[in-house]
Structure 1
């Protein structure tokens, strides 16, 4: 927390001392990250017990559902999850590394600069103060970047495993057609067994999704707000001249927004797959008692399923386009005021 306060005061010092609109815009980006980082961390800590419950469910219920489909599929899912983790890590790390490497390069060539030109070290630019400021700023950047990465990575993986488990659950309702020598009661027993197995797994997955909504409702709102503000700031900066190093910040925030909303869209699609699998199920051949259970499950499926933010919006690609539209509209208004 002390480093965050130090960075905020250093950034405010730069804003106070400059009239450069481009520099102020970049400094505003730093302030947004400095404020959102502790906010998101606190929200995550508040929901740590819910996260622990979700993690246990993934390691038990979801893994079992995928493994019941095939061991090869479980192995592919784990490998793909690892690739997702690596992609997110690279996406976040590259912009951070570029800032630190640039500052170190100048330092080795005898020129003293800060890690970010929008944040003062609040100390003289000479040994050992410059080195201390360089170290503190580097710690902040990697701490903020990788902490936010870990939180987002957890949610992406939680949603990813849920989507894969849903595919395996749908296959439970795929029952082989009645055999030539199979009696109707025997076929009804097979259908009943399939429906009961689906219901047992489905109830656990719905509970998992409910817990995911509890945890992600406010936490998902933070990246949406962050991306809206940061995209607007980056557009303002680009309108004054393109700085490729700063524009690289658009990569992780856009990737974060896309990952959240794409998986939110996938969860809605998987819920629709549940409904379609039930509608295509050979329910007329169920016995009377199981038909009643089938009707109840179908009625429950008519409820809207998805991941929602605290303000009630679903995480989906429509939400992503709305956030980007808001950023552009805010950018246009600010440009008009500046003119």
Structure 2
């Protein structure tokens, strides 16, 4: 597929296709949309973009945070992991003489801007993180030849130009729950998110397997799911958890991230429960605020600076074609930060 064939399909001249590809404004909106739609459908990579991939890329990288259906809140501000990843990505790209453009995707339709930015040469590649990116989107980006890295999204992928960057989740969760078991806890609850997402799924599996390996049954009434990984979700989960398990309340909670843990701590205190005397709690991510909670939150630390650096460096290697990178990469390092929110299980009497 070349620009002449695209022009025929769109019913326009070859020069019009060139103006659309190069981002000129003197093209009627309906014509521009028709040409871009055909480009997306046929996976056409303009020669200019091909030259970019061959060694003269744009110096702009796109970072897109995906969270469907949440329009009233800026997820970059509300998520310590996202905001820290953003700050470290900017620093790393500045050292590489590159720039970062950032946007939030709340609807499937918003992915069109990712494709258009690459087609128009305003972006050389992108990083996607947050909610699951549909296969249809990844297939289009792959056909366009847009280098894309998914962060903590999936465990496998099979599209050209699409790569994975993950952190260690299973072992971190396993060790967190094992710490609770070592303190005598058997009624251990889990506040989690959508297990479609690899990082959340692996943390759930670490929780589940640690219980089973210690001959502790997995009690479904102790597992609470939330699509939105916010403090409010942790707060609501705790209130429901304690009401649902009256007389058999959990003695410890493992939250899939620190935000959920923060909300859970507030809920526990409103219910008159003391942490850790009455109930222990562990989070994940080691958000900066975790050490200043009352009591300081025990959590699993993964270096956001390192995952941002690995992500940026890998993407630039692909764009500049200096060398190939593995389709799947993982930062395996983590640290269990033991603080004041965990104590031995409270014995009756």
Q: Above 0.5 in TM-score?
A: no
Which structure's residues are more often helix, by fraction? 1
Task: Using CA pairs under 8 Å that are at least 6 residues apart, name the structure with larger relative contact order, 1 or 2.
Answer: 1
Q: Which has the larger radius of gyration?
A: 1
Give TM-score, length-normalised by structure 1. Answer: 0.24
